Structure 1
């Protein structure tokens, strides 16, 4: 149903803020540009964040643009902020179209293969409906198929003269310390490794200890270098297992008594290369204690042929940054998902192509907040009676929409709070007031009775229904010129969708209409490119077949 109000939440970027500053003709009040004739600030493209919440609690995240688009705020921070807004304002459901990219990589594909869910899944968004007839089961099977794809099989498919894929797999296999046997294992490790590396090129080689010496440091580079080597030796004796910061500190104190120097070096050593080792640092998720571990990189960095570099070469060129990792991710992504293959009709190429298309077509996501909100408000306090209520509109012929198959068009249940001694008359008045204030088409609503509850206006509510119950009220629109069906924000029911892919409703993709039966089908499914002009005459496959098989008319005597 169409809500009375909607609220835009916009974090402008430097560019959109500049446009607003230098172009005073832009509307600031959120009124649609089609109504005012002036360009609207919220319609601008390129905001850091733009989301909409309707007065009935439903919303849509229109866009987020993080560091990838030149922002100083990361996409994670923007999503955290948006999620706090929705939670604080008690949103019901929020939808989005997942078109997020990272260096031209579709995140719903890369993150889906790595973790089994889209990137937005970290905030509770789930796939509900796909384009081109993609179902939840089809999406899940496609993800599982790509995740379990054996790396060895993919490497065998690589060009014999191109060792880059083999070199990348060898590099991260050596880094991981455990088997990376499938594509899902590789993508998961690369993604997690990227977030453990520093943002810039802070990793240093063995002979560059001076880069961690601050200008105001009271220790000489020689003492810092000695402390580093003592700490690395202590970690090496731990046989490459994770060791707590206190254990490392205690072991190093047997050789260096200056605890301030040890604390300074331990703080500086995270993700730094010392000799043939990388000193890893992380927080134990269980104990919440800072831990350190050594990682042997003497065979990690490979040459163009995919073979390990010598120790001397490694020491002088052991700089591994996020940029290199991102480049490797992009290379593998393009090789597997985008590289043109000689044939895609059979075998592994066909399986990858089909699964990739299914995942990319699953871009409509929804987060349901009602599970978080309703348990908190269903019963209420002792001095408050809380119920979940909705309405069913009486049609002009006297029947009720909810009894004629239009129950799916009922407005969502709303939480109605009453005093514990409220009567049904008071409850109906409160329901009527709430829905009038929420929905544009219900300004002349009059509530009549409660479905499946035999009660008079003077009866106490709490005596006939329990707190937290869900009630449906019948009502009518007093405005004689209003049509109950016009208050719903629905698509044109006269347009029938029956596509070859199995889609039975408009999913937002481009459609073309048959000139005979007027059934609509996807451009892509009928092999019409979205960039091509629509043909002057189009026949669906069924009508085309009927014409071919249509028998000649019988001859009259």
Structure 2
């Protein structure tokens, strides 16, 4: 819904307004994202931010105050920092290089979106006056950008391509859960009209790599629920290898694992049996087991469950009511909610129904406040704020099929509880870690079970797939004449460079740096615009976006060669049409204006990798070819030797004739 109070009143801009976190980034909150490009939408959003004038970081910086809860009040800050590439010491983006975007042109600007960590915020005296220890420049960058451990840090290039650098949820001390942060980030990307966003998935839980655990359980990483898919594998891993590795582990039959592991590890078969008993359907494969365990984990209550009407968890040391009175009030409230037939009812209705039996309204208010999202007997007392009426409502949920015992989840047979099949969240995590360690990572070789060695091999392939990409798609083309007498064309450029003359053309083609073609940009023209106006507008747009196109000039091509400069564009080229224009970009070689850093050296590893993928590498001291240290058997915990020769150079030295 459009927030008229924000959008309609221009005088309220930059007034330090507090925005709701759960809605920020939606269409109309705080702005209608109607821009035809990423840059226009960023500028429109920043109109509603507070400009941080007193921050000495050498970069423009804005902030938004976002409300998580109204009662009790809890806020977080979103910082947006604009980084100019012109002032940067290293203009090449390593994240683009690692994910396979090395042939992208370097952009003039980056926009950092930060939900800072508590440590970073503690270094600030206020959101208007950050101290120098956080803000000052370091090697051309803000220390706030370089700090690690933020709740969220994402960066966009001015052409709409971006990277999600970190997400840290509740387990890292954040005020937000990982799901909440990802939903927030996804709203930002959609609103700003991001093109593609990459991330490096290194998320862990209790020492377990989540891309492996979730891959086995759901055939996709944890970030897959937000549309992130295979982007690029390290150590030569391809998408086909990745999919086959996941399927190989997911389809592993449990009976085979039980048969071969039972003699060497007695705990694994017991874990299989425990979850097979709990499950309502057969768990046949390893994928079935991991899927069921993760689904079960998500259903187990976070709080300690309350057995029967035991209210010890509600009693405070300084509570003025006795445990017996609290237990009685709890029983009355739950029974009142039962009579509502599991419907949502207002707090006042519940209170009025309970007052028939409990006259102490203070006691009722205390118990109602404490019961929210607690388990009482076989019921979960849910509490939520109605988004329309803004009134607290309660509902009772029967969870007897899920957790019929206060100690955890219990499945019963013939109405008789089997104590040995009780499971708590702690026990579930212990079982997961055991399966992860002894089946996926450290599978012991057993005679006659050579197929087990395929599990850690497939797991290694999944772990080597860290770079994920989400494609947000192109902005829908506007193919109609606007109401203001303006229309849109979508243009990209094909670069020609005078310095390429005389060089081996095939070399540039094979290395994908001869003709980098940027994505299409929306060019808005008046209905009376001429061919000369079109050229000037294309030049202006691409010069503003890309650092290497500061001297870009459009040259005649097949489309414009017969057109005169004063001829009208409208009528010659259809509205919403796509154009590819050619031009000169200046004196620099093409490879120097791309994100791929030509000074990093040539990669040619035995695993098949031809480009830097972010993994540790070593350079041969003779040919200077880079290879992975893992592929040449240099352990990660060992330093790279002072002198290193690749296999090819070693062989050439051996074959070299000795001098007389």
TM-score, normalised on structure 1?
A: 0.77
Residue 418 (structure 1) aligned to one of 506, 509, 525? 525
- Could you tell me which residue of structure 2 aligns to residue 469 of structure 1? 577
Deviation at 1:553, TM superposition (A): 8.8
- Could you tell me which residue of structure 2 aligns to residue 35 of structure 1? 140
- Could you tell me which residue of structure 2 aligns to residue 431 of structure 1? 538
CA distance in 1, matches of 2:492, 2:124: 41
Deviation at 1:59, TM superposition (A): 1.2
CA distance in 2, matches of 1:379, 1:94: 30
Can you list the C-alpha shifts for 1:122-150, whole angstroms capped at 9, x where unaligned? 11111121100000000000111111111
CA distance in 1, matches of 2:153, 2:447: 40
Deviation at 1:493, TM superposition (A): 7.3
CA distance in 2, matches of 1:439, 1:344: 60
Over 3 Å counting, the alpha-carbon distance change for 1:272 and 1:348 in structure 2 is: farther
- Could you tell me which residue of structure 2 aligns to residue 358 of structure 1? 461
1:424, 1:456 within 8 Å by CA — same for their partners in 2? Answer: yes
CA distance in 2, matches of 1:296, 1:40: 49
Is the partner of 2:429 in helix, strand or coil?
Answer: helix
Is the partner of 1:295 in helix, strand or coil?
Answer: coil
Within the alignment, does 1:375 sit opposite 2:483 as a pair? Answer: no
1:200, 1:321 within 8 Å by CA — same for their partners in 2? Answer: no
Can you list the C-alpha shifts for 1:421-464, whole angstroms capped at 9, x where unaligned? 43222111111111111122222222223455543323333434
Over 3 Å counting, the alpha-carbon distance change for 1:339 and 1:118 in structure 2 is: same
Over 3 Å counting, the alpha-carbon distance change for 1:378 and 1:40 in structure 2 is: farther
2:260, 2:446 within 8 Å by CA — same for their partners in 1? Answer: no
Residue 82 (structure 1) aligned to one of 175, 185, 190? 185
CA distance in 2, matches of 1:27, 1:421: 51
- Could you tell me which residue of structure 2 aligns to residue 458 of structure 1? 566
- Could you tell me which residue of structure 1 aligns to residue 401 of structure 2? 295
Deviation at 1:322, TM superposition (A): 3.4
Residue 173 (structure 2) aligned to one of 61, 70, 86? 70
Is the partner of 2:498 in helix, strand or coil?
Answer: coil
Within the alignment, does 1:532 sit opposite 2:635 as a pair? Answer: no
2:441, 2:459 within 8 Å by CA — same for their partners in 1? Answer: no
Residue 542 (structure 1) aligned to one of 623, 648, 658? 648
2:443, 2:452 within 8 Å by CA — same for their partners in 1? Answer: no
Over 3 Å counting, the alpha-carbon distance change for 1:392 and 1:68 in structure 2 is: same
2:114, 2:152 within 8 Å by CA — same for their partners in 1? Answer: yes
Over 3 Å counting, the alpha-carbon distance change for 1:172 and 1:93 in structure 2 is: same
Deviation at 1:170, TM superposition (A): 2.6
Over 3 Å counting, the alpha-carbon distance change for 1:7 and 1:225 in structure 2 is: closer
Is the partner of 1:392 in helix, strand or coil?
Answer: strand
2:193, 2:475 within 8 Å by CA — same for their partners in 1? Answer: no
| Unaligned segments of structure 2, at least 5 residues | 1-104, 344-352, 358-366, 383-394
345-354 vs 116-125, which deviates more? 345-354
1:278, 1:296 within 8 Å by CA — same for their partners in 2? Answer: no
- Could you tell me which residue of structure 2 aligns to residue 241 of structure 1? none
1:95-494 matches, within 5 Å, as 95-158=198-261, 160=263, 162-201=265-304, 203-206=305-308, 208=310, 245=342, 294-295=400-401, 314=419, 320-339=423-442, 341-342=444-445, 347-369=450-472, 371=473, 373-375=474-476, 377=478, 381=482, 383-397=485-499, 405=509, 406=513, 409-450=516-557, 452-454=559-561, 455-477=563-585, 482-492=588-598
2:553, 2:583 within 8 Å by CA — same for their partners in 1? Answer: yes
Deviation at 1:272, TM superposition (A): 5.0
CA distance in 2, matches of 1:417, 1:339: 59
1:12, 1:48 within 8 Å by CA — same for their partners in 2? Answer: yes
Residue 19 (structure 1) aligned to one of 109, 112, 123? 123
339-348 vs 353-362, which deviates more? 339-348
Over 3 Å counting, the alpha-carbon distance change for 1:475 and 1:292 in structure 2 is: same
CA distance in 2, matches of 1:221, 1:34: 61
Is the partner of 1:374 in helix, strand or coil?
Answer: coil
1:151, 1:183 within 8 Å by CA — same for their partners in 2? Answer: yes
Within the alignment, does 1:8 sit opposite 2:8 as a pair? Answer: no
CA distance in 2, matches of 1:106, 1:474: 47
Deviation at 1:278, TM superposition (A): 8.3
Over 3 Å counting, the alpha-carbon distance change for 1:161 and 1:521 in structure 2 is: closer
Is the partner of 1:365 in helix, strand or coil?
Answer: strand
CA distance in 2, matches of 1:491, 1:345: 50
Can you list the C-alpha shifts for 1:198-241, whole angstroms capped at 9, x where unaligned? 2222x33346378799989897566678889x99xxxxxxxxxx
Over 3 Å counting, the alpha-carbon distance change for 1:330 and 1:378 in structure 2 is: farther
Over 3 Å counting, the alpha-carbon distance change for 1:553 and 1:322 in structure 2 is: closer
2:308, 2:406 within 8 Å by CA — same for their partners in 1? Answer: no
Can you list the C-alpha shifts for 1:285-315, whole angstroms capped at 9, x where unaligned? xxxx99857528799999xxxx99x95774x
Between the two proteins, the alignment pairs up a number of residues equal to 508
2:380, 2:397 within 8 Å by CA — same for their partners in 1? Answer: no
1:100, 1:107 within 8 Å by CA — same for their partners in 2? Answer: yes
1:93, 1:367 within 8 Å by CA — same for their partners in 2? Answer: yes
Can you list the C-alpha shifts for 1:37-71, whole angstroms capped at 9, x where unaligned? xx711111111111111211111111111112121
- Could you tell me which residue of structure 2 aligns to residue 254 of structure 1? none
Is the partner of 1:375 in helix, strand or coil?
Answer: coil
Over 3 Å counting, the alpha-carbon distance change for 1:226 and 1:320 in structure 2 is: farther
CA distance in 1, matches of 2:171, 2:264: 33
Deviation at 1:380, TM superposition (A): 6.8
Can you list the C-alpha shifts for 1:289-345, whole angstroms capped at 9, x where unaligned? 99857528799999xxxx99x95774xx99754333333322222222233524699
